[in-house]
Amino acid sequence: MKRFNFLWLLFILILLNSCGEDKENTILQEYSFDTENKLNDQAAISEQNNTGNQGLKPYYVMNKQFGMPIGVMPIPSTWIKQEANAENILFEAPNGVKVYNEIFNSFFYSNSPQRNQFTLQSGGNVKPIKSLQLLINEELKPFIESQGGRYINQFPLPQLAQFDKQFNSYLFKSTPEQRQTDCVVTEWEGPDGKLSMVIVRYFIAQYTSIGGLDWGYTLNSLEAPKAEYESAKNTYINALLNFQINPQWVQTNNQYYAQAAQQSNAAHQQRMASIQAQGQQILAAGRARSQAMDNQYNAWRSNQAASDAGHAKYIDGIYERRNMTDASGNIYKVDGYENNVWMNHNNEYIATDNSLWNPNTDNTTNNYNWQHLEETDNGY
């Protein structure tokens, strides 16, 4: 008869859309990490850790990228590390307890459709944010219940949420973020009568400087016969709470990603400088072309003006007229070549070669105010 395992099915479902970290697990003989970064809070659970007379052993979570442990946690000596298997079992004990590999899943979301589209094109997952409780109610519960599982209970585990936030605070960030964490333990009964625990470790990381956020969760799961469940549950929770972070890994990780961010930023600045230089060259060339066109146009205008002036003088010569100006700078076309020209406010003028005559003193013409006009080349 085929054995039912809804935690294995849950793993398969989430694996299709998950983004895992580059780490593996192993057991080493001894460890000497600084224990200042662990949270050893036995009050986090309802019962004391009970491992029988078997004692504890260190279990290392290895990072393949740097070839060193991320950290270590205490597990019962009866929990045996399993080789890679289709059911995703990490530890198995003779009393029927099974602990499953950790599952991580995250999504990006922004109010900008363009950023969401860019994330999708880059291979990322985009999904509107859900609260932890909605995630449990709308995704976890329906799936497990569809496989014959029965929801029993849930309770918060703030100590593990605190640990996750503390762990994250040690890590280098190329973009400032505001992070929130939460944690809930859900409990289930399978159709075979076994009890299971799924710990949902939830996070939101908001990027206030650039906009958008990442959100997601980590699942830690355990299955056990009813008689072994409470002890196994408490043991596993304590193991997670007493995870000790390797400070050497933190330092190596942060140096690596800080350098990568610096190189990326330098490359970005170089690209921007190149673009700016190209832009300046384009602007300079544009200004040069514009100046050349202005010079060409001004030269044309000057030549055209000279041509127009010559043509105007030629036409005026034909009609025996010339340009004259008053004291205000107004220019008038006046017929003839008399030396003295006077004009009144009706634009009527009198031309004479008599330099001694003034219409303002002549009784026959002094009923108007007359201005003396001077010959000018302006207007050509």
Q: How much is the average pLDDT of 112-126?
A: 90
List, for residues 195-229, the tens digit of each pLDDT value: 999 999 999 999 888 889 999 999 999 999 999 99
Q: How much is the average pLDDT of 3-25?
A: 52
CA-CA distance, 45 to 240, in Å (whole number)?
Answer: 12
CA triple 213-202-76, angle to 5 deg? 145
List, for residues 250-300, the tens digit of each pLDDT value: 999 999 989 988 886 565 456 556 556 666 666 676 677 767 767 766 665
CA-CA distance, 67 to 52, in Å (whole number)?
Answer: 34
**Structure-token pair, residue 145:** 């219940």
Q: How much is the average pLDDT of 163-177?
A: 91
Q: Which residues pair with 276 in a beta bridge?
A: none
Q: How much is the average pLDDT of 148-156?
A: 95
Residue where the block lists tokens 């009198």:
350
| pLDDT confidence of residue 110 | 92
Cβ within 8 Å of residue 278, ≥6 positions away: none
Residue 142 · residue 169 · CB < 8 Å: no
Domain boundaries, the chain: 6-30+48-245, 246-318, 320-375
Residue 140 to residues 14, 18, 115, 199, Cα–Cα distance (Å): 10, 15, 28, 11
Query: Is the overall model pTM greater than 0.75, yes or no?
Result: no
Q: How much is the average pLDDT of 2-15?
A: 54
Residue 43's pLDDT band, with cuts at 50, 70 and 90, is: very low
Question: Radius of gyration (Cα) for the chain, nearest Å?
Answer: 45
| pLDDT confidence of residue 95 | 96
